[in-house]
């Protein structure tokens, strides 16, 4: 299984690299300041496609206050107002350290999880004297499940409650209307239920954006689990992004309850085929904490 997953990551990365090499692109060479290249922006409208990380970072010196909200399953019927009587949420703060690096922290009501992440831009899509047809980033997340679980068999250590996610983000803004992203993912559990279960689980995510108008975008996000925990389903989310000045308001329907990589990728209990769908929304509000210094040269 490990060899198969590694091979999948290699094949994915090779596709994008070969595309660049076909156009004689030296991705890591030093650039002459007299050259001019246009950095591609707005591949996605927020730093998350819906649940998962997008290729986008918040700007240097910018603080992004984010609220992610999920209602209960629509299949609960009228007595629970089709899920509106139940809700889970994640509140978080993301901050741009510089033009390449952003960090973030969050707290979810679901399983009382805390999470912290960093996302680093490695390559940026650009046109001009140097043409690079894709962007590449790395995202790493640590998740702590603080929920107290009653058990007389084993008293877990603090480290046992941690899990980690490692993701490679490969994205391309095909044109002004269509963007695509591929997200190979590794999720590691420090402890699992029994000795027969692996600690590492691999999956591949796919994201899609379709521009409908100047301020409206249709988004889709799906993760295929290569390694599967029994009783859980692949997450699929369909959303609508609404851009309103300093806000990005995301409406969506998903089969996931959790909002950390561990829960929405590996531990989604709802099924689209069974009607276990949840309506939700994300709100993003950005604030400029410090003005970045004037950029010199060209970054990628």
Largest CA distance in the chain: 68
**Model-wide pTM > 0.75:** yes
pLDDT at residue 30, rounded to an integer:
35
155 contact partners, CB below 8 Å, separation of at least 6: none
Strand partners, 223: 205
pLDDT at residue 6, rounded to an integer:
46
Task: Put residue 50 in one of left, alpha, beta given phi > 0 → left and psi -120 to 50 → alpha.
Answer: alpha
HSE-up of residue 23 (Cα within 13 Å, Cβ side): 15
Q: What is the pLDDT along the chain (300 residues), one digit of tens a residue?
A: 444 544 544 445 554 445 444 444 443 333 444 356 788 888 998 899 999 999 999 999 999 999 999 988 777 777 777 667 788 999 999 999 999 999 999 999 999 999 999 999 999 999 888 889 999 999 999 999 988 776 656 777 888 889 999 999 999 999 999 999 999 999 999 988 778 888 999 999 999 999 999 889 999 999 999 998 888 999 999 999 998 876 778 999 999 999 999 999 999 998 898 888 999 999 988 888 887 665 444 444
CATH class of 2-19+45-125+132-146+158-288: mainly beta
pLDDT at residue 81, rounded to an integer:
78
Neighbours of 37 (CB within 10 A): 17
SS3 sequence of the chain: CHHHHHHHHHHHHHHHHHHHHCCCCCCCCCCCCCCCEEECCCCCCCCECCCCECCCCCCECEEEEEEEEEEEEHHHCHHHHHHCCCEEEEEEEEEECCCCEEEEEEEECHHHEEEEEEEEEEECCEEECCCECCEEEEEEEEEEECCCCCCCCCCCCHHHHEEEEEEEEEEEECCCCEEEEEEEEEEEECCCCCCCCCCEEEEEEEEEEEECCCCEEEEEEEEEECCCCCCCECCEEEEEEEEECCEEEEEEEECCCCCCHHHHHHCECCCCCCCCCEEEEEEEEEEECCCCCCCCCCCC
Give the domain ranges of the chain: 2-19+45-125+132-146+158-288
């Amino acid at each position: 299984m490990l060899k198969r997953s590694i091979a999948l990551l290699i094949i994915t990365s090779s596709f994008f690299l070969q595309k660049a090499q076909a156009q004689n692109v030296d991705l890591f060479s030093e650039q002459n300041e007299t050259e001019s290249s246009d950095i591609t922006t707005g591949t996605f409208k927020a730093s998350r496609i819906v649940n998962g990380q997008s290729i986008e970072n918040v700007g240097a010196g910018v603080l992004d206050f984010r609220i992610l909200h999920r209602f209960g399953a629509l299949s609960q019927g009228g007595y629970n107002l089709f899920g509106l009587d139940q809700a889970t949420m994640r509140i978080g703060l993301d901050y741009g350290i510089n033009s390449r690096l952003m960090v973030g922290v969050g707290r979810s009501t679901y399983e009382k999880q805390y999470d912290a992440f960093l996302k680093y831009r490695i390559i940026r899509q650009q046109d001009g004297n140097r043409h690079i047809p894709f962007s590449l980033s790395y995202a790493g997340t640590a998740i702590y499940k603080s929920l107290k679980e009653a058990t007389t068999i084993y008293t877990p250590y603090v480290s046992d409650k941690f899990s980690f996610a490692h993701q490679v983000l490969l994205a391309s803004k095909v044109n002004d209307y269509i963007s695509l992203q591929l997200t190979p993912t590794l999720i590691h559990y420090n402890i699992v239920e029994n000795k027969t279960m692996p600690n590492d689980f691999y999956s591949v995510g796919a994201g899609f954006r379709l521009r409908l108008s100047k301020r409206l975008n249709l988004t889709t996000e799906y993760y295929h689990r290569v390694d599967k925990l029994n009783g859980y389903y692949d997450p699929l989310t369909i959303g609508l992004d609404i851009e309103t000045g300093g806000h990005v308001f995301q409406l969506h329907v998903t089969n996931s309850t959790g909002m950390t990589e561990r829960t929405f990728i590996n531990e989604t209990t709802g099924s689209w085929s069974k009607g276990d769908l949840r309506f939700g929304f994300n709100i993003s509000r950005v604030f400029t904490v410090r003005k970045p210094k004037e950029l010199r040269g060209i970054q990628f």
